[in-house]
Structure 1
């Protein structure tokens, strides 16, 4: 009688464990663990979420209106006849060049910008050099000098309009009596109105220029200046060969910021002269506002706005090309 063949029995628990292990190794979706994000990926997502509100704000407030302005500048679009909007190509830009008022506004804008920024830079650099020493007196003087920059340009325009009035102004009355200004004051003189507004802008924004340049001076390495003084370099040589070249980054920042702000000046001119007398103080911004809000010509106003943006961009690029070679020579 044959004995039954005994096969080795495998415990049930061991069998289940081995089967689950094989399923896990085979990549079964039931047992696969979710893939975790790396630290670098989490950091990128965090930075994107952190910047998302600012990006959305810039898109809604700056990029979208700019895109609309570019679109409207190629159209004949008047708020008086909004249904008659049609595409006209470059006609609005050609009309700007053929318009005598627009050409005068462009010239006035460049004269105002170049004159104001140049004088502010020269005065600001002089004030920054005088306040370079860090002591209590200079800190008090710097705080007092910054007061004009904290006043709203609209208020500055109204104050100087009242002060320069030839009938009751604190300055205008005595200037008219001395024969320096006409009987209607400086702001009513076609030849003196724009220089007077440049002087007002210089009074307000020279402290800001001085503050930026002073910050650049305080960041200069003192060991180089001390070594040059030990070697016998005079004050003029130290300024021309060391201080001024090392100050170029701060000077570039100050000049670009003031250039951008001065080229689109509006508040001071609007409340003091409104572009007059005649077109003597009409700038591109004043001309664009008149086209859009007085004549309701949105297409022409958009063309003026785009022209201002293009001019600012060109001047900023020119500053970059002027400063970069000097920085490379001193590197």
Structure 2
């Protein structure tokens, strides 16, 4: 009975990954398929030798670490504010989740229109007020990546808050009441009771958002296209350019595999950090 589902996973998931892994060891270009040649690890070595690829790696890590950290902080603050079960909080949560329901592609197009220096409802007045570059925040290499980080935070902080709020709702009320009865202050209850019990929810939120943020593509592609001067170029944008614009399938496959490896390593690091924190706080 499970055979159809297993077959679907093999065809849709495992086979493309295996094929991409295989192609990464070849110099394979769709324009010249007859010249395909096995080159071993040369594609992987070329990634770290190419200045543009190294910049894409740095941009991806900066984007991921900064945006996820901000989303965790503001998401936790929102979750704490919405913890009390009231009609106002339920209505506020419904409105807060609206950004997360919009696809990143549409979000990118909206903010590209808003931040345009010539006609944007925000960018026009910022440029005329002398705030930021005259050509617009998305066209300057010093501000473009930070603007994309803020856009990502605007869209996904509500989702982070929802995950953390679910963790807060599942906390045992008797433990919190016992802490209050023992005379613990609000800060002590938060650091000694709430935070340790929230570690599984925090880990889940961090892993989900880290995996998603590290492979950001849609919002970057439609707003800046990786520019200006590769200031917002990310690994996924670089992979799509190499594979679909220059048809370097082997090199693009290597970039995709490197991205998967980085995501796996970051997830492992998060698991180790949360596990050590759990052992230090709870003693098990």
Question: Normalising by structure 2, what TM-score?
Answer: 0.98
Q: Is 1:131–2:57 an aligned residue pair?
A: no
Query: CA offsets per residue over residues 290-320 of structure 1, 9 Å max, x none?
Result: 1101111001000000000000000011111
- 1:52 maps to 3
Rg larger in structure: 1
Q: Note if 1:215 corresponds to 2:166.
A: yes
Q: Once the 2 structures are TM-superposed, how far is the Cα of residue 328 of structure 1 from its aligned partner?
A: 3.1
Q: Does 1:110 align with 2:110?
A: no
The CA RMSD measured in Å over matched residues stands at 0.8
Structure 1 regions of 5+ residues with no counterpart? Answer: 1-48
In the TM superposition, residue 92 of structure 1 has moved relative to its aligned partner by: 0.3
Correspondence for 1:168: 119
1:193 aligns with 2:140: no
Higher RCO (CA 8 Å, separation ≥ 6 residues): 2
How far the C-alpha of 1:54 sits from its partner, in A, is 2.4
Q: CA deviation at 1:80?
A: 1.1
Q: 2:103 aligns with which of 148, 152, 155?
A: 152
For structure 2, which runs of at least 5 residues remain unmatched after alignment?
none
User: In structure 2, what is the Cα distance between the partners aligned to 1:178 and 1:54?
Assistant: 58
- Aligned residue among 169, 176, 183 for 1:232: 183
The alpha carbon displacement at 1:184 in A equals: 1.0
Residue 325 of structure 1, CA deviation: 2.1
Is 1:307 the equivalent of 2:254?
no
1:246 to 160, 175, 197: 197
Q: How many residues in Structure 1 have an aligned counterpart in Structure 2?
A: 282
The CA deviation string for residues 64-103 of structure 1, in whole angstroms up to 9 with x for no partner, is 0000011000011011110111110000011111100000
TM-score, with normalisation over the residues of structure 1?
0.84
Give the structure 2 partner of residue 177 of structure 1. Answer: 128
Offset of residue 238 of structure 1: 0.6
